[in-house]
Structure 1
Amino acid sequence: MFRRHHGHGMREHAHGSHDHHGHDPRLFAFGPMRPPFGPGGFGPGGRGHGRGRGRRGNTRAAVLGLLLERPMHGYEMISELETRTGGVWRPSPGSIYPTLQLLEDEGLIVSEEADGRKRFTLTEAGRAEADRATDAGHGRPWQEFDADHIAQAQEFREAGFAVMSALRQVAMTGTPTQRQKALETLQDTKRKLYAILAE
């Protein structure tokens, strides 16, 4: 008897998880909220900054520029770039570590194992390339971020979170017609944003 009652209760609970429009909100869950532009979304060469410049190319310049100051390990570079740009640019490990491997393969840096971490140092060739980039004005990508840029990037983040929150509400509680209108609004907004870049 207890099993039957328990099973019925479970069915009632499952049925009760549907909202008042009759659809299961889990189908429209977005998962944990994350920064809407992703890690390093406003970094040099990333979405939202500059045109025609590869992100890895700027990560390369940043790595060489940092190592020109002192030897560092990968995570230290990530933290330094985040700090120097006011949290606007935090390169992901998937950007930093392949760049380090490439620079090592090219003979521009060498690594040394210490306390379970690889610490990287410029070779003479690497120092020469970093000096050339600095002389040309490209050796300190983090200096591209001024106070206005950092403030505007924060405004973008806040606006992105607000839009995601509104989208979540429509997806979870809206009627099918309302959800369709929301999708059309998103598509129209996307077109307008790309049109801004084309101006």
Structure 2
Amino acid sequence: MHRMFAGMTPEEARIRLRRGAFGPWGAPFGPPGPDLWGGPHGRRHGRRMKRGNVRAALLALLAERPMHGYEMIQELENRTSGAWRPSPGSVYPNLQMLEDEGLVTSREEGGKRLFSLTDTGRREAARHGDAPWREFAEQPDEGVLHTREEVGRLLNALQQVMAAGSTEQRSRALELIADTRRKLYGILADDPAAE
């Protein structure tokens, strides 16, 4: 096995491989899997909206009209053409914080909580200006869209080799990944525009 991974279990090697690409804290978007590029955590194309942006988006939506929490999630997904669907785990705690701060009120309606802005909440929403979902309206370049698919395929192949491959095959796969990472950095080093 590659000397960098000598004495490690395949799982330890996978963790070290992920961390090596992103520093000692690991990948900023969590472990490989369906959540890497989208799914229940409000991520898309490796991006995650910051807490403040979720908050600002909720204020902007509620400035238009009262809404239920799930309705806000759907609205954000629709307004970004599916590029951003915040999870209930990010929306509902933010709504609770907004309510605790006196910016939002809620009432039961048909078994659901309907949220509305207070006067203070309207002033706060106006202070934020442009709605944060507009950043998703920009059309990403075609290469970025293909990157998502190719990296997903690469991770699937690596996971299969690490799970089912022999010691020799796993070692070769890890060496290939390390070599590919070096070559990717080499692309930037050779590009005068990147300096």
Match of residue 75 from structure 1: 70
Contact 2:35 2:43 in 1 (8 A): no
Is the Cα contact below 8 Å between 2:84 and 2:136 reproduced in 1? Answer: no
Tell me the CA shift for residue 186 of structure 1. 4.4
Q: CA deviation at 1:34?
A: 1.7
Could you state the TM-score of these two structures normalised by the residue count of structure 2? 0.66
State the AA in 2 paired with 1:180: S
Give the letter aligned to residue 41 of structure 1: R
Paired letter, 1:59? V
> How large is the Cα RMSD of the aligned pairs?
3.1
8 Å contact from structure 2 (residues 76, 133) kept in 1: yes
C-alpha displacement of 1:109: 0.3
Residue 62 of structure 1 corresponds to: 57
Deviation of the 1:108 alpha carbon: 0.2
Match of 2:84 among 78, 89, 111: 89
Residues 140-192 of structure 1, C-alpha deviation per residue, up to 9 Å, x if partnerless?
Answer: 11111235228666434322321232123312442212213333444666786
Query: Which of 135, 139, 143 is the matching residue for 2:134?
Result: 143
**What aligned pairs does 1:110-189 form with structure 2 within 5 A after superposition?**
110-134=105-129, 137=130, 140-149=131-140, 154-186=145-177
Percent pairwise identity: 49
Residue deviations 1:104-138 (CA, integer Å, cap 9, x gap): 0000000111122111000000011111212xx3x
Distance 1:184 1:141, change over 3 A: farther
Asked whether the 8 Å contact 1:73–1:119 carries over to 2, the reply is yes
What one-letter code is carried by the residue in structure 2 that aligns with 1:127? R
Quote how far apart the aligned CAs of 1:41 are.
Answer: 2.1
In the alignment, which residue of structure 2 is the partner of 1:37? Answer: 37
- The change in CA–CA distance for 1:118 and 1:158 in structure 2 (over 3 A counts) is same
Count of residues in Structure 1 that have an aligned counterpart in Structure 2: 155
State the structure with more CA Rg: 1
Contact 1:36 1:160 in 2 (8 A): no
Q: Structure 2: state its 5+ residue gaps.
A: 1-13, 15-32, 189-193
Look up the equivalent residue of 2:73 and give its one-letter code: I
Say if 1:35 and 1:161, in contact at 8 Å, map to a contact too.
Answer: no
5+ residue gaps, structure 1: 1-27
Distance 2:92 2:177 in 1: 35
